[in-house]
Amino acid sequence: MAKLLLDFFSQFPLKVKGENCINSEGKIFCSRCAEVCPHSAISFNDNHPRVDTQKCTVCGLCFSECPVNVFEIEVDLTEFYKNKTPLRVGCFLSENQPDVKVPCLGMLNEELLASLALHAGEVYLDTSACHLCPQGEIYNRIKEYIERANLLLHYHRARSEVKEGYPPEGDDDFLKELLGEEKDLKKPTVSKRINVPLWRQLFFEKVKLLKAEELCHQPVKEERLRFARPLVNPQRCQSSGVCSFWCPTHALSSDGGVLYFTQILCTDCGLCQEVCPNGAITLEKG
């Protein structure tokens, strides 16, 4: 696996931006990256993650799970937003000829997949090589991401879908008829100025293009997705602004004791709930 990656990259393609990590020198608030790594390649130094390049296979699960943009893989995912219907995505071991390739399908979490589906109409993940892969346990995570992506699309009333396998012959014409005449679709842009993960930025860039009148505006409680909102207990809150000060994506901000929340920026990292000195904040999944 490592040799295969070196054929595609001149240097190790996974970068760690430890300054973005929500952990402090005194406490580990989040260990999702280490928990999800199938090869125990991630450990903590001064409570910030470090990657053992001898163990890492660049499966991308740390990138998919980190809520604050610590991990970066040197693949330009915006190049995947092609004028292609349907879009076929595979890994470097894929037996077929996909439209785009990634080091591992594990780096495509539900928001990345949903944004690709919003762009292309249908996305097919070529998992034909997963049974050959030495890190085959990642396949279960890939199936979970597909399920969550379709949940997101369902809640946004989008006529798009993520599927496993390869599209049958003749599907292209059917989908073009379903989606209607499309304008030239521009690839989405991402910002280096905000500490919101790439997958969240790409997802909302595509959601913004949906027709407002077709969206569902009912609140949805969904434990499996990375959306939450803070519920503040006014009897406990002292309006100290600690939560907004530590919020890594600036989803929380405060002004004169008033707390403002921007859900598009919230990645459910849970730091606001952890740092509140009076336990005034609880995160409600939804």
Q: Which spans in the chain are helix H?
A: 2-6, 32-36, 61-65, 110-120, 138-155, 171-179, 198-207, 242-246, 271-275
Residue 187: per-residue pLDDT: 79
- Residues 76, 66 contacting (CB under 8 angstroms): no
Residue 174: per-residue pLDDT: 47
Query: Average per-residue pLDDT in the chain?
Result: 86
Compare 100 and 4 and report the one with higher pLDDT.
100
Residue 183: per-residue pLDDT: 52
Residue 130: per-residue pLDDT: 85
Under DSSP, the state recorded for 133 is S
Question: How many helices, marked H, and strands, marked E, lie in the chain?
Answer: 9, 12
pLDDT above 60: residue 158? yes
Does a cis peptide bond (omega within 30 degrees of 0) precede residue 86? yes
- Tell me the pLDDT band of 75, cut-offs 50, 70 and 90: confident
Residue 118: per-residue pLDDT: 93
CA distance 275 to 281: 9
CA dihedral 204, 67, 37, 109 (to 10 degrees): -10
Q: If we measure between CA atoms, which residue out of 3, 161, 143, 5 comes closest to residue 86?
A: 161
pLDDT above 70: residue 182? no
What is the mean predicted confidence (pLDDT) over 255-275? 91
- Residues 138, 93 contacting (CB under 8 angstroms): no
Q: Which SS3 state, helix, strand or coil, does residue 20 take?
A: helix
Residue 176: per-residue pLDDT: 52
pLDDT above 50: residue 65? yes
pLDDT above 70: residue 6? no
pLDDT above 60: residue 153? yes
- Residues 33, 48 contacting (CB under 8 angstroms): no
- At 40, the amino acid letter reads S
193-221: per-residue pLDDT in tens?
A: 888 999 999 999 999 888 888 777 788 88
Share of residues in the chain with pLDDT > 70 (%): 90
161-173: per-residue pLDDT in tens?
A: 999 988 876 555 5
107-141: per-residue pLDDT in tens?
A: 999 999 999 999 999 999 999 888 877 776 799 99
Residue 253: per-residue pLDDT: 93
pLDDT above 80: residue 265? yes
pLDDT above 60: residue 79? yes
